[in-house]
Structure 1
Amino acid sequence: MTYTGNVTKGGPADVREVPGLTISKIEVGGFGNNAYLLRCTETGDGLLIDAAAEPDRLIELIGDMPISSIVTTHRHPDHWGALKEVARATGAQTVAHPLDAPELPVEVTREVEHGDRVTVGVVTLDVIHLRGHTPGSIALLYQDRHLFTGDSLFPGGVGNTQKDPARFEQLFTDVVERIFDRLPDETWVYPGHGKDTTLGAERPHLPEWKARGW
């Protein structure tokens, strides 16, 4: 079946095969959070992005194969509600940016900065620091074509900055300079809530995002 990225609470994961990775997207929790399981097709190693809620469902999604890392995209509790339980069950290292790591419910075993890399099996993901939604929000990029953005970029705009002009300007600038100016239209965006999009679908709307200030 064709991957759409459209998932529902309590429903099955949507699974996508890309060169080197299997990507499984699932919706969990009461805020429509997306969690993503990335699995290296060569080694079977896995990485979970945002252990947001419903630890039993996430552990079931992971199954019997190992995961080596759980990456938390930012400090907001709806993105780490199941982190303690899933980390305990899997023994995976926990990964976050140092500016958000102290707010998480577990000791972060690896802190990552802009430009660092995270590996899953033989696959490498680039860390992109996107300041504004929270101080330590990060995205993960695979082969310039698959971008996991947490709550920093969605279909229709950047993440919530609580109507703070300075925070909006910082996030908008980071998203433009570190994502849109660098990556092609074909790059697929996997956000922290809701449906997926592409940079090509969103790029024409950047001026209106800037003008409206959110």
Structure 2
Amino acid sequence: MLDNKNVSIRSASVGAMDNNVYVLTAKNSGVQVIIDAADDLPRIQALLEEGAADLYGGPAEAAVRMIITTHSHPDHVQALAGAVAATGARTAAGAEDIPAIPVPTDVPLAHGDVLDFDGFDLEVISLRGHTPGSVALLYRDPDGPAHLFTGDSLFPGGLGNTQKDPQRFDSLFADVFERIFEYLPDDTVVHPGHGSGTTLGAERPHLAEWKERGW
């Protein structure tokens, strides 16, 4: 768990592909947001209960304001229907990916949108290439480094898979370079869709290498 002034961030690795699920909890209101209800609904519910334990007087599920899907690939939505049924929360995803998500999406997201959750904001950053509607979510901690939830668009060591398609790679590289590395400082913490986290500072020296190799 990462414990910031306004928000706690919890995560779990779930499913056969070790997807990361993230739960953000506002400390002043108890409002919770799920990023990528990938799999293992009981584990997601446990994260919600942990987040709500000291902050909210009612059922943890009742505090969930939104479930955001970073992109439409099946391994990122296996528990989405169950999480919606359990919480009644609204769903959100990049507009271009909505047709491929097997659960209705309430809020189509576009680059630059800001989502207000009664205690913290998440800024939407569109990163086109891994899928057409992939998004990252940015939380700006007022007293520490920013936190960026990148789905499968940015990992330690490189970008997300673009199936060796040069156009898709060029699109993703351009968005990651312009909308992340030129926009955010090196201490920004990256929370990817699989595996361990990193920082922009750790990855920045390798940008030219990624562009040269094309993946």
TM-score under structure 2 length normalisation: 0.91
Does 2:78 correspond to 1:92? no
Deviation at 1:199, TM superposition (A): 0.1
The aligned runs of 1:1-214 (5 Å cut-off) are 15-63=1-49, 64-65=59-60, 66-143=63-140, 145-214=146-215
Structure 1 range deviating more: 62-71 or 24-33: 62-71
Distance 1:206 1:76 in 2: 25
Q: Which runs of 5+ in 2 are unaligned?
A: 50-58
Distance 2:4 2:122 in 1: 14
Distance 1:165 1:172 in 2: 10
Deviation at 1:183, TM superposition (A): 0.5
Distance 1:177 1:24 in 2: 28
Distance 1:102 1:118 in 2: 21
Distance 1:23 1:81 in 2: 21
Q: Give the match's secondary structure for 2:64.
A: coil
Amino acid at match of 1:69: M
Aligned residues: 200
Q: Which runs of 5+ in 1 are unaligned?
A: 1-14
Structure 1 range deviating more: 58-67 or 130-139: 58-67
TM-score under structure 1 length normalisation: 0.92
Structure 1 outlier segments of 4+, above 6 Å: none
Query: Does the CA contact (< 8 Å) of 2:11 and 2:47 recur in 1?
Result: no
Amino acid at match of 1:150: G
Query: Does the CA contact (< 8 Å) of 2:158 and 2:210 recur in 1?
Result: yes
Amino acid at match of 1:68: R
Query: Does the CA contact (< 8 Å) of 1:39 and 1:120 recur in 2?
Result: no
Distance 1:129 1:121 in 2: 23
Q: Give the match's secondary structure for 1:68.
A: strand
1:57-107: CA deviation from partner (whole Å, max 9, x where unpaired): 112221232111000000000000000000110000000011101111211
